[in-house]
Each structure stands twice: as structure tokens, then as C-alpha cells.
Amino acid sequence: MRSIWRTLDRATVAAVVAACCAVGLFGVSYGASTIAAGFPMWMPIVMAVTVLAGGSELLFFGIVAAGGSPLAAVVAGLLLNARHLPYGLSAPEVFGHGWRRVLGIHVLNDESVAFATAPGDQERKRAAYWACGIGVALCWPLGATLGAALGSLVPDTSVLGLDAVFPVILLALILPALRDRATVRPVLVGAGLAVSVAPFVPAGLPVLIALGGLAFALRPPTPTAEQVAT
């Protein structure tokens, strides 16, 4: 594996470093927000190391902090992480074999997959995947640890406005996907379902009920005028 690291050019290295730094800063907010929500310091750190999936971790803590059951939070996190299945299928050759494959699958995330599917030869894709994956696996827990320490040292973290970080970060996670018009309809339907049932069901369940919007993502697209004419 060592030889493939030499295939990375400066632009790719700079992009990997920037991505890992951004993940680290994101981890600081995550760790501090978790402590602000009342969780013990060790929880975000252990989750960051073992789960290594920022979106699902944030969703888990957000649901539990809102009063939802841990089971609902786990199910929601697993559903959110289901996107990793097509990720793995899109670039299986970058993982390697044996123990490398196990480690390679663990460091699979949005950023590393983006580098693995970028244009370029196979060796460069593999090197970029591993560089970003390992970088994120280090920066995310380190950021979470720093954020948790910060949250534990500040007497009242609510003055920092950290209670707003959970919804803001989750919104930031979905905004890029809304550029696709086919995604907007199921998102709006899901949001509508969640808002409408929120007053009547326990906290955490609206997130799962919102998945009903996925039914609209499965509908075939409406044919255009040109397609009808032909």
C-alpha cells in the first residue's frame, strides 16, 4: 500500500487536508453540543471512534436529547447510514483485501468516497480514499474530544447558542441534496409529515414517520412534452 501514496499530487493532498480540517472543526461543534445537551463527556468520544459517522451520531444524540427513545435514535441512525451501502458498491476496489478491507470499510464516509469516485487512475483514487478516510478517522474523534472538553469547561454552554447546532448541522447535511429537483418532493413531504404528527407522537418518532416521503422518491418521473410526442 505504501507505494500508492506517492501517486497523490499537491492539489489532491491540499483537498484532503482541507476536508479533514473541516471535519475536525465540525467535530468540535459536535462534541460541545453533545455536552451542552447533558450527555457525559465519554459518549461523543466513544461514538466518534466506533461509529465514525457524523450524521448518524448527531441524529442519535439529537433524538435522545429531545426526549426520544434510544431505540428510535438507533433505528434512525441506521437508516441514515444506509447510504453507505451504495457508497461501498460504487468503489469496492479501493478497500483492498483482508484486514485492509475491514479497516477500509470502517473509514468509508462521504468525504473519502468523494475522492474515490473523482476522475483519475485507479491507484490515485485508492491513495486519495485512504488518505482522506484515515484523516477523517483521526480528525473527527480529536475534534469531538476537544469540543467535549470545551463543553465541560464552560459552566453554561447555552450562552454560546450551542442548542441550535443540532438542527443547523442536520439542515446543512441535507441542503446539498436539495439541488436535485427529484429530491425536493420527498423531502417536503417528509418534513410535512414530521411537523403534522409532532404534537401527537413521542419525540423521535416524527423523524421515522418522515421517511414516508421516500415513497415519492420511488415514483417514476413525469414524462416531458417531448417524450410524450415521441
User: What pLDDT, in 10s, does the model give residues 60-100?
Assistant: 888 888 888 888 888 888 887 877 787 787 777 787 777 88
Distance CA 211, CA 213 (A): 5
| Cβ neighbours of 224 (radius 10 Å) | 9
**Closest CA relative to residue 135, chosen from 18, 11, 7, 1:** 18
What secondary structure letter does DSSP report for 223? P
The predicted structure's pLDDT at residue 226 = 47
Among the ranges given (85-94, 117-126, 167-176, 197-206), the one the predictor scored with the smallest mean pLDDT? 167-176
User: What pLDDT, in 10s, does the model give residues 2-40?
Assistant: 555 577 888 888 888 888 888 888 888 889 888 888 899
**Closest CA relative to residue 69, chosen from 189, 175, 203, 177:** 203
Distance CA 165, CA 15 (A): 25
Angle at which helix 10-36 crosses helix 122-153, to 10 degrees, equals 30
Q: What residue segments make up the domains of the chain, in order of their start? A: 2-160, 180-230
| Cβ neighbours of 199 (radius 10 Å) | 7
